[in-house]
Chains A and B, each alone.
Chain A
């Protein structure tokens, strides 16, 4: 059988079929539906021998708690492993790039392990020493999916460490970039908020006596102590905690631009100076509590907004996709592992089933099937004849293949796709409406302060200073900044809860402006898991269906399940002399009939790819051709509704690198006006996006493959679609889970509503500002009034943004904070 275009490496996301649920058992290790009933150990069913052997390893080492902590905690093991996969780690040079630190024979190595997903994983990995005593210690960082492993180099090698991980299903991600260095998280914001909070609380406490005693004179010296303590507490807040606002405002000023931090920085500065003067001139106790409070709340908003998804990477390039090393065959036929970027022209590489081809080359030993779906968007695996050219990035399906290198990694076609990027790509920078609002606000406040100053110039010169400073203090646009940071922070989390992960908060506003959406086909609109089976040929009687089903059940191949669903056979027979030829086909004897399922090559039919509408699997019974199963990828569920909603106010296009297999399926779903183009190369996609942008469109592109990578970068918003957030995705502004794609119109609407939320809440904060200004222009703004107004407006804003964003999400039937777990 031909392998599917893409296989889901984790297998966690598989959709359980209700008809299978009744008749089948689930793997004790990984929870996958068991296609065969033969793999049983200690009375437990397993879906494959891989899962069984992991169970055995864990059981032998007394790690059975792995299964009691979480049901079916394991990682699916169906993908075949081959020994020697990690042989390249024996190479001293490669090992050196991975080991980050050594001390007295102990080596420290950092790995990213994408399959870490639950507490059982932590339990197992931190008990690795029980499986292999050479491993001394493992520390897991769950959010980053990162493991630090310390092992004794005198006992085991790096290769053995990785192979131990491989045996239990926790392969580390090894790429040309080397292992991740231990990241130093930036904690300065947390320190700042801690200090600001401390100062804010204590200054409030110390200010209370002054607010509530009318006769301060009784205890003059005590009042002085309080005031000077306030000054001391406010100093670190002003110089340390608030410095991010000053730095940002200064940067804006240097570019001759008043950004949102400018009025905030000005307000903090004025408040601080005015308060110092009050204290030292003995005329009051200043507004230190307001100042520290504002800094505290604004830092809180900033932390909320700066949410980052540690487990996701938005900045990947091809080096993450390529393997670290490949097997080079010498003239004498000796295999050596070589770093991918050390492979030279003329070298002969030997590749195993499932390996990614790292270089352009010529196929030497035999015909091969290559899955190029990720590179070109082609959904059907390509047959390459012996002696033909083969391009980097494809995945070998089945068997072993030898290729002669004709272009090194740095010059390969795939690497070239990235080459065009940075220099040629141009994006328009855009300024948030919040910044524009803030600038107008600043000008108005400046005007009010100036007018108040003029007024007092004629009436009471002594009041100019208090009135002008008070206006600037109370009318600080902190409300606006707070609203936008909190609203962005909440929306960012709501989107994350629903499967859309944004690179940062500024994407929200860009998202709301999308008026053109460009989709990729393979992997974006179609999913590797939604396979539709059709049959062409002689009608199959029930008996023959049973024969085919019995045979198909024997394989762990991804096409087995859709085929079994299609045949609707519940009882199957035993199969004798079962043989599987990876990537080609299977055969066996069922009830004395010879049954064969396989591809064109396997059946030795004349291939006529031009007629293909999907992957073809032919069936022969007793050597007579019965017919052909055609496996086609179908649209992800609910996409028709999505297009229906999008059509109203968005222009939609489809750019596929694939052949036009089922054009009517897409034209029907996307409507008459949609621009649907097939056979688009990476360059075609890029120029299409550029063209849209020159006519003033705000373009979002949703894609998943390497052929979309350049177009994703060029588009105003690049949305990477993935069925498995652990898997490789090209760089983009957003990562969207494939099964949540249909929510895209709602996501756009939610981002549009963010602006509304900000405006409503800003309106509320203006109300407080008006009250404050009423006192301020008269020069009567007491520290008490300021101290009440400031927290009131802040808390109102935080509360309102939270409630509004949740209500809007709830109205859209999206997951929200109030609904808890769905």
Chain B
């Protein structure tokens, strides 16, 4: 049954990693602006300079 304890620790560890990732992303401001990132990805970086 000691396998159970190991698995338990592993699962808790994984959960903790996700909790940490969540807090990190919030602190990083990733949820502050829900509008612009979704649209920014559609902007073309280096479009040609021709008119239209």
Which A residues are closer than 8 A to B by beta carbons?
42, 59, 62, 64-65, 69, 119, 122-123, 126, 140-143, 185, 187, 190-191, 194-195, 198, 201-202, 205-206, 219, 222, 225, 229
Contact (A123, B43) CB under 8 Å given A185-B32, A187-B26, A191-B23: yes
In the complex, the chain B residue whose C-beta lies closest to that of A143 is B33
In the complex, the chain A residue whose C-beta lies closest to that of B19 is A198
- Establish whether residues A65 and B39, one from each chain, have CB atoms under 8 Å apart when the complex forms: no
- Find A219's partner among B1, B8, B12 (CB 8 Å cutoff): B1
- Chain A nearest CB: distance from B29 CB in Å? 8
Between A62, A219, A229, the greatest number of chain B beta carbons within 10 A of the residue's beta carbon is seen for A62
- Chain A nearest CB: distance from B26 CB in Å? 5
- Establish whether residues B36 and A202, one from each chain, have CB atoms under 8 Å apart when the complex forms: no
In the complex, the chain B residue whose C-beta lies closest to that of A190 is B26
- Establish whether residues B39 and A69, one from each chain, have CB atoms under 8 Å apart when the complex forms: yes
**Number of cross-chain contacts by CB at 8 Å:** 71
Count B-side interface residues using an 8 Å CB cutoff: 31
- Chain B nearest CB: distance from A226 CB in Å? 8
- Establish whether residues B40 and A122, one from each chain, have CB atoms under 8 Å apart when the complex forms: yes
Contact (A194, B19) CB under 8 Å given A64-B52, A65-B44, A65-B47: yes
**Roughly how many angstroms separate A95 CA and B27 CA in the complex, as a whole number?**
31
- Establish whether residues A222 and B4, one from each chain, have CB atoms under 8 Å apart when the complex forms: yes
**Roughly how many angstroms separate A69 CA and B40 CA in the complex, as a whole number?**
10
- Establish whether residues B36 and A225, one from each chain, have CB atoms under 8 Å apart when the complex forms: no
In the complex, the chain A residue whose C-beta lies closest to that of B5 is A225
11 further contact pairs, Cβ within 8 A, besides A62-B47, A143-B35? A42-B51, A62-B50, A64-B47, A119-B42, A141-B33, A143-B32, A191-B23, A194-B22, A202-B12, A219-B1, A225-B8
- Establish whether residues B23 and A194, one from each chain, have CB atoms under 8 Å apart when the complex forms: yes
- Establish whether residues B5 and A119, one from each chain, have CB atoms under 8 Å apart when the complex forms: no
Tell me the dominant secondary structure on chain A's binding face.
Answer: helix
- Establish whether residues A142 and B27, one from each chain, have CB atoms under 8 Å apart when the complex forms: no
Which B residues are closer than 8 A to A by beta carbons?
1, 4-5, 8, 11-12, 15-16, 18-19, 22-23, 26-27, 31-36, 39-40, 42-44, 47-52
- Establish whether residues B39 and A122, one from each chain, have CB atoms under 8 Å apart when the complex forms: yes
- Establish whether residues B51 and A64, one from each chain, have CB atoms under 8 Å apart when the complex forms: yes
**Roughly how many angstroms separate A489 CA and B39 CA in the complex, as a whole number?**
27
Q: Note all chain B residues with C-beta closer than 8 A to A140.
A: 33, 36
Q: Note all chain B residues with C-beta closer than 8 A to A219.
A: 1
In the complex, the chain B residue whose C-beta lies closest to that of A201 is B15
- Establish whether residues A222 and B51, one from each chain, have CB atoms under 8 Å apart when the complex forms: no
**Roughly how many angstroms separate A64 CA and B18 CA in the complex, as a whole number?**
42
- Establish whether residues B49 and A62, one from each chain, have CB atoms under 8 Å apart when the complex forms: yes
In the complex, the chain B residue whose C-beta lies closest to that of A226 is B8
- Find B39's partner among A119, A187, A198 (CB 8 Å cutoff): A119
- Find A195's partner among B19, B36, B40 (CB 8 Å cutoff): B19
**Roughly how many angstroms separate A140 CA and B1 CA in the complex, as a whole number?**
55
A-B contact pairs, 11 of them (CB 8 A): A69-B42, A69-B43, A119-B35, A123-B43, A143-B32, A187-B26, A194-B19, A198-B15, A198-B19, A222-B4, A225-B8
**Roughly how many angstroms separate A190 CA and B22 CA in the complex, as a whole number?**
10
**Roughly how many angstroms separate A496 CA and B1 CA in the complex, as a whole number?**
56
- Chain A nearest CB: distance from B28 CB in Å? 11
Q: Note all chain A residues with C-beta closer than 8 A to B44.
A: 65
Between B5, B43, B44, the greatest number of chain A beta carbons within 10 A of the residue's beta carbon is seen for B43
Between B5, B12, B18, B44, the greatest number of chain A beta carbons within 10 A of the residue's beta carbon is seen for B12
**Roughly how many angstroms separate A800 CA and B20 CA in the complex, as a whole number?**
33
**Roughly how many angstroms separate A206 CA and B49 CA in the complex, as a whole number?**
61
**Roughly how many angstroms separate A201 CA and B43 CA in the complex, as a whole number?**
39
In the complex, the chain B residue whose C-beta lies closest to that of A60 is B51
In the complex, the chain B residue whose C-beta lies closest to that of A123 is B43
Contact (A194, B47) CB under 8 Å given A119-B39, A140-B36, A225-B8: no
Q: Note all chain B residues with C-beta closer than 8 A to A126.
A: 40, 43
Q: Note all chain A residues with C-beta closer than 8 A to B39.
A: 69, 119, 122-123
- Establish whether residues A194 and B26, one from each chain, have CB atoms under 8 Å apart when the complex forms: yes
**Roughly how many angstroms separate A311 CA and B51 CA in the complex, as a whole number?**
34
**Roughly how many angstroms separate A373 CA and B12 CA in the complex, as a whole number?**
65
- Chain A nearest CB: distance from B23 CB in Å? 6
- Establish whether residues A141 and B23, one from each chain, have CB atoms under 8 Å apart when the complex forms: no
**Roughly how many angstroms separate A141 CA and B36 CA in the complex, as a whole number?**
8
**Roughly how many angstroms separate A225 CA and B4 CA in the complex, as a whole number?**
11
**Roughly how many angstroms separate A59 CA and B51 CA in the complex, as a whole number?**
6
- Establish whether residues A122 and B36, one from each chain, have CB atoms under 8 Å apart when the complex forms: yes
